Chain A
């Protein structure tokens, strides 16, 4: 998986500067220990950042776009699912479902996001379309919160594209209605 958006790591440099000034005033042996501790500390920190910023799919460069909002507070969105309770298969992107498809008029980034609606009624309306009549569909309410990834309004007013983070437990945040 690609590492996406490592986020601000500026304070690593500050820590480094503080350590450097202390090292100048310490015994050589003591300084070596401090360097080791500093390295381990920053290695663990970097691993945490990398782990928390990995998206479910290996997204292309500049994806999600800068216009997409980072999910930092609770909000509800709705997605059509084929099983109740929902399964991982209900949250597969277009690219995952159609690995060899040519998406010429949508970007690879969009094809790797998930469609969700901010309005439940639009989900019910969408179920009238033939592609959603092949199996019994349910409207799944997904509660997004900090750590859920990024989201952007795309297309019809209620339609959003969501790029979930790998660590976000979608199934635990999803409740399907019997429709």
Chain B
């Protein structure tokens, strides 16, 4: 018996009314709830052309047309007894679908308001959060080109900024939500349309699919980044905002601005979720970035975060100030902050509580390297 896998919900009301699915070889399916009998949902399923499904998702095509106007006549019934995580078994139906009384009425559009921007259209067609950026480095003045190094640096800086914004968003969640949204590998955005024709427009899609209601933690993360770009023409106001997010997120923002100045480019971005009618758009020009960096650089430790470690002291080198502490999770190494406490008197093998400042330094390849500086210590 043929099986398909649930991909994402497209319309929800007291349960999933419409969803899209894929079969084992990547075929596209649309499913519509026909009825609920004895607590079991019975869905009508039909294979559809990817482009037509995309048009339906962006609101250009109604549901009835999607189900009826198809090159093949096969259609199926599926009952997701084990929920949507399990494979759904399809039961082939013999009578023509167009004669079925369980078809929707004509005129059901997923989105009543058409998408008037590429970002919203992209978000709807992917049924996921979409983030898009464009830059204008000097090499793009005459042709649609960008230095490989600039592109790589841009992607790295952007991903770092998003990663820290995401971590900050997850930290503010309840414990249960935190567990389900914690992404240790940091692959939060995937490039889906690299260098689209006409500009250096890059389109990213949230690496994790939105939940059944279309909510994505990435939206929380991007809202935090939006705050940094909201008042870029007013460095003092931006500075106040960045101070509120002091730590790795602020540090990543500062590094991104420095990168833009170094590569003589500004940055424009827009993002949208499928439910949006308009994208959220922000930008910073190269001229705006210069005073911002000057203001932000004047604040000491803006990119540093306080970290408290508790564990057994394994190494204390008083000559160069290096130390190593073994905590329950792993070993941490660091240095003493210039002018900070001495390691004198600490006993190897004893337990201590170290209050440290964690700073992120960039390696030559642009990768993040964390450095710990001891600020205070006390016996644990």
Q: Does residue B36 face the partner (Cβ distance < 8 Å to A)?
A: yes
A65 to B81 Cα, complex, angstroms? 27
Are B104 and A94 interface neighbours, CB within 8 A? no
Interface size on B, residues (CB 8 A): 45
Partner of B39, one of A99, A110, A156: A99
Partner of A156, one of B11, B40, B82, B108: B11
A126 to B14 Cα, complex, angstroms? 11
Chain B residue contacts of A100, Cβ below 8 A: 39
Chain A residue contacts of B6, Cβ below 8 A: 105
Binary flags per residue of A96-128, CB closer than 8 Å to B gives 1, else 0: 011111111110001000110100010001111
Q: Does residue B139 face the partner (Cβ distance < 8 Å to A)?
A: no
Tally the A-B contacts, defined by beta carbons under 8 Å.
105
Are A129 and B85 interface neighbours, CB within 8 A? no
Q: Does residue B112 face the partner (Cβ distance < 8 Å to A)?
A: yes
Are B39 and A98 interface neighbours, CB within 8 A? yes
Partner of A104, one of B17, B83, B105, B106: B83
What secondary structure prevails in chain B residues at the interface with A?
A: loop
Report B271-300 residues with CB < 8 Å from chain A CB.
Answer: 275, 277
Known contacts A106-B212, A155-B214, A157-B275; A65/B39 CB under 8 A: no
Are A115 and B13 interface neighbours, CB within 8 A? yes
Q: Does residue A24 face the partner (Cβ distance < 8 Å to B)?
A: no
Are B82 and A102 interface neighbours, CB within 8 A? yes
Are A156 and B214 interface neighbours, CB within 8 A? yes
Are B32 and A130 interface neighbours, CB within 8 A? yes
Chain A residue contacts of B106, Cβ below 8 A: 128
Q: Does residue A133 face the partner (Cβ distance < 8 Å to B)?
A: yes
Q: Does residue B35 face the partner (Cβ distance < 8 Å to A)?
A: yes
User: Which residue from chain B places its CB closest to the CB of A155 in the assembled complex?
Assistant: B213
Are A129 and B104 interface neighbours, CB within 8 A? yes
A129 to B275 Cα, complex, angstroms? 19
Are B39 and A97 interface neighbours, CB within 8 A? yes
Are B32 and A129 interface neighbours, CB within 8 A? yes
Report A128-171 residues with CB < 8 Å from chain B CB.
Answer: 128-131, 133-134, 154-157, 159
Are B83 and A102 interface neighbours, CB within 8 A? yes
Chain B residue contacts of A131, Cβ below 8 A: 17, 33-36
Partner of B102, one of A106, A127, A130, A154: A130
A102 to B41 Cα, complex, angstroms? 11
Chain B residue contacts of A47, Cβ below 8 A: none
A93 to B36 Cα, complex, angstroms? 14
User: Which residue from chain B places its CB closest to the CB of A109 in the assembled complex?
Assistant: B176
User: Which residue from chain B places its CB closest to the CB of A99 in the assembled complex?
Assistant: B39
Q: Does residue B174 face the partner (Cβ distance < 8 Å to A)?
A: yes
Chain A residue contacts of B34, Cβ below 8 A: 130-131
A66 to B107 Cα, complex, angstroms? 37
Are B174 and A62 interface neighbours, CB within 8 A? yes
Q: A101-B83, A155-B12, A156-B214 are in contact. List 19 more A-B contacts (CB 8 A).
A: A97-B39, A102-B82, A105-B9, A106-B16, A115-B12, A115-B14, A121-B112, A125-B109, A126-B17, A129-B11, A129-B18, A129-B33, A130-B35, A130-B104, A133-B102, A133-B105, A154-B215, A156-B12, A159-B13
